[in-house]
Amino acid sequence: MLHMKDLDLKNKRVFIRLDLNVPLNKGKIISSERIDRALPTIKLALKKNAKIIIASHLGRPTEGQYDKKFSLFPIFIYLKKKLIGVNITFIKKYLKGIDIDSHQIVVLENVRFNLGETTNNIDLSKKYANLCDIFVMDAFATAHRIESSTYGICDFVKQSCIGPLLYSEIKILKSILNKSKHPIVTIIGGAKISTKFKLLSSLLKITDTMLLGGGIANTFISMFHPVGKSLYEINFKNKAKILYKTKKIFLPIDSRVSTSYSINSIATIKSVSNILPNEEILDIGNETIKKYKKIIKQAKTILWNGPMGVFEFPNFRKGTEEIAKSIANSTAFSVAGGGDTIAVIDLFNIYNKISYISTGGGAFLEFIEHKTLPILEKFKKQ
């Protein structure tokens, strides 16, 4: 595969697809990890005197509609502070063309505001390709998605290549896959099983034990007990049953619940078999924490993606904190990935205690599953 470092970028319009999808709270960046990991790529393009176009998505806005809370403007401001002395501008409307000079950076507004982005629309892919001479794919976290700015653009641009961050992620993950020691413990949190069902299925083939938390766990719990007004997916109960038959999945036995959902909500610890209709599960309970920590202690390899609950709320943080610190203190080789997971690592200051932190969530899980990604296969065929 062609690598960005090996190409002559001087005076070339270079469209760099990064993953700057960082968590925000009222326009303020909570974790800058993904942006910081992308800075070497930007600096390499500057060194090569390229005309730099930076593209990324942020969150999941309604496609085709501008929404200020999903604007990349706060990320642009952060980049401006990190790249002092560099001519860097922000553009909202860019599909009809951009005027750009060498050694200049143009940050494009959220690509997901463009109609057709997530469906890999051909016309949109052509418009992206018309903006540049070279396309650099360096957004590992979205490398598993077949979208216009991550995949479709390759079919119409003059030249495309892999970026340094994507290359580094793949190289390290391949090494991990080839050297994984058993028992492998996989810890999965997050909101929905529907977005991770295929990944869970594949991970269960290589993992020895899977520990679940968050809304994903609620869907499994709902197979046996009512979960009140907790987040869960009733349409995936039957599929959850199939996965559960592997006997590798461990579920919470108690939870922190509340009758309201707010930062000031009071937590009550209850057995998962005793959730009332007006209560919702927002974190794992103390007995579950003990059970999970015991399993983690025996692991030789740990794959971690997602929090155990609503860690943003102080009263529902303990489960995520205890499991995160247990992973950090483990002697196992630990791999963590995903935006929320990185935010957790930052929050509890365990960055140096995780063996490898991937910028990707779904991408790193899918790479573990298939040992490749759609964009990599496309680059191989060039």
Is 321 marked within a binding site?
no
Is 19 marked within a binding site?
yes
Which residues have CB under 8 Å from 369's CB, separation 6+? 198, 199, 202, 203
Among residues 135, 169, 164, the alpha carbon closest in space to that of 152 is found at 135
Strands (E), the chain: 13-17, 24-25, 28-29, 51-55, 87-91, 104-108, 134-137, 159-162, 184-188, 209-212, 249-250, 254-258, 268-271, 280-284, 301-305, 333-337, 356-358
Q: Which helix (H) or strand (E) holds 197?
A: helix 197-206
Is 59 marked within a binding site?
yes
Q: How many residues does the chain have?
A: 382
Is 13 marked within a binding site?
no
**Residue found under tokens 């869907």:** 219
Which residues have CB under 8 Å from 233's CB, separation 6+? 192, 193, 194, 215, 219
Pairing verdict, β 280-284 and 254-258: antiparallel
Is 58 marked within a binding site?
yes
Residue 273 carries which side chain, given as an amino acid letter?
A: S
DSSP three-state, residue 255: strand
Is 112 marked within a binding site?
yes
Is 366 marked within a binding site?
no
**Which residues form the catalytic set?**
34, 192, 339, 362
Is 346 marked within a binding site?
no
Is 339 marked within a binding site?
yes
Among residues 187, 214, 191, the alpha carbon closest in space to that of 328 is found at 187
Is 233 marked within a binding site?
no
Residues annotated within a binding site for substrate: 19-21, 34, 57-60, 112, 145
Residues annotated within a binding site for (2R)-3-phosphoglycerate: 34, 112, 145
Residues annotated within a binding site for ATP: 196, 312, 338-341
Residues annotated within a binding site: 19-21, 34, 57-60, 112, 145, 196, 312, 338-341
